[in-house]
Amino acid sequence: MKKTTLLFAFTIAALAGAQAADNQKSCRVTQAPVPEFVPPAPFPGPPADRFYLGTKELWASLWAGPWHGLPTDQGYRVKFPWFAVDIGREETERAAISVTGRRLDAPAGPLLVEGPNVGMLPDYSFYASALVFPTEGCWEITAKGRDRRLTFVVWVSK
């Protein structure tokens, strides 16, 4: 009986792993745009392992590969900035964008979003947020507000 239970557990784990691999292959992850988006001055270019996606009205810095978040009780937490040329100091109480997300390849709980809140540096402002993905998988993220919208797809992995 123990051998049968153990074999069953290994079979289920192998099938789950195969399903996850198939899901990742079918996930249409957003790729770097060609030509690349270059933000206006004084915004810096993206870090070496990322690319910018969007327009001067709203853009984000995406990882080129799978997203790896900090494991928490709620899922995988990723700190995530958003940028726009016209973020105003009047937004310090509430950001002018909202962020939502949904898993595309399997049922899952909702994306949890912390923020966005306005962050200010000497040369520019940005929207600071944290995205908490309840599960690994293929996720579509959308930010919208003030007649602008940015949507992209990412693969979240451990």
Q: What is the residue type of 5?
A: T
The pLDDT assigned to 3 comes to 57
Q: Write the pLDDT tens digit of every residue in 98-152.
A: 999 999 999 999 999 999 988 888 888 888 999 999 999 999 999 998 889 999 9
> Any idea which residue has 């996720």 for tokens?
139
Q: How far apart are CA 74 and CA 114, in angstroms?
A: 12
Residue with the larger pLDDT of the pair 8 and 151: 151
* Domain 29-157 in this protein, CATH class: mainly beta
Cβ atoms 155, 138 nearer than 8 A: yes
Q: Where are the domains of the chain?
A: 29-157
Who has greater pLDDT, 7 or 62?
Answer: 62
| Residues 22 and 28 sit within 8 Å (Cβ to Cβ) | no
CA distance to 48, 83, 95, 117, per residue, from 57 (Å): 23, 8, 14, 17
